[in-house]
Amino acid sequence: MPNKSVVVMGSYVADLAFRTEKLPAWGETYMGASFRLGPGGKGSNQAVAAARAGARVSFISKLGHDAFGDLARTTYRDEAIDATYVFPTTTPTGAAVIIIDAVRGENAIIVVPGACFELTPAEVEQARPLIQQADLFVTQLELSLPTVEFGLKLAHSLGVPTILNPAPGRALPASIFQYCDYLTPNESEAEVLTGIRVTSLATAEQAADAFLARGVRNAVITLGAQGAFLKNAATRAHVPAVDAGPVVETTGAGDAFNGGFAVALAEGRDIVQATRFGCAVAGISVTRPGTAPSMPHRSEIDTLLRR
């Protein structure tokens, strides 16, 4: 099968990851276990995940002229990601502080989007020819909301299927849901958007129903170690997580899922198969440290799914 085209519009920030056995209190200094600097941002991570999973990926974003921006440009060159519509700006490239529990592998993140938050609808309009030829369009919420909605509306008007990963969780205008062929929140993001606390498959289905009522065509709620629950007008299913080994770090698991999910849909898999593919990508990613560097390659995904 020829590689399908996935266009990702989203954020890039540099990830500054600190691994520690405890969080310091305000005013306290605590010696951490390790530090790592790498490429990050939800959009950029999803672009890397999709590229490694087998798609031809183009990325739409904005970068500063600085060391963090140079790290992004190097990443896209190394991963063969088309960065034609990654626009320059004098605003510094953003960063994320990721604090990782050295025992459990869980994380807390503070993001300052920086340059990418300046991406405008007019700049996205310049990428119309790129979006028009895509098999799938993906975006998230680390950009300004008018830009996110414009990108979704543009892709929808061109007949390109859309995925909105509503992360990080925030309130959204009602008008945005009609442009979402696929909505992929996690439990906390689903709660922010619907007011329904997702603690079980039953409450996941309630949240999915709320999204479908707002005009979303397919709702896929990711459930961490429980996999994902999906629903559309014809199908409802729980897809279990795919175990690839001991969990090292969960940072980037959602991005891994979305990148893999997008590739599988672009390749023509149905929503259940695509969700399982995304769960396999996420399952491998959590066995490794880092965000973009943890994303698996297609051969690893196919091997895991054959087991």
Residue 229 has pLDDT above 80, yes or no: yes
What is the mean pLDDT of the segment spanning 18-34? Answer: 92
CB 8 within 8 A of CB 151: no
Residue 101: active-site member: no
| 103 located within any domain | no
Segment 116-133 shows an average pLDDT of: 97
Q: Identify the CATH number of the domain in which residue 191 sits.
A: 3.40.1190.20
Specify if 150 maps to a domain. Answer: yes
Report yes or no on 33 lying in a domain: no
Q: Is the pLDDT of residue 280 over 80?
A: yes
Q: Is 106 domain-assigned?
A: no
Q: Is residue 101 part of a domain?
A: no
- How many domains are contained in the chain? 1
Other C-beta atoms closer than 10 Å to the C-beta of 137 total 27
Is 165 domain-assigned?
yes
Give the pLDDT confidence score for residue 102 in this predicted structure: 86
Which structural domain, as residue segments, surrounds residue 205? 5-12+40-93+115-306
* Within a domain: 107: no
Q: At what angle do helices 201-213 and 187-194 cross, to 10 degrees?
A: 50
Mean pLDDT of the chain, nearest integer: 95
Report the percentage of the chain scoring pLDDT > 70.
100
| 189 within a domain of the structure (yes/no) | yes
pTM: 0.93
Q: Which of 15, 135, 181, 255 is catalytic?
A: 255
pLDDT in tens, 178-197: 999 999 999 999 999 999 99
Q: Is the pLDDT of residue 1 over 80?
A: no
pLDDT at 162 over 80: yes
How sure is the predictor about 104, in pLDDT bands with cuts at 50, 70 and 90?
Answer: confident
Which tens digit of pLDDT belongs to each residue from 249-263?
Answer: 888 899 999 999 999
Percent of residues, the chain, with pLDDT higher than 90:
88
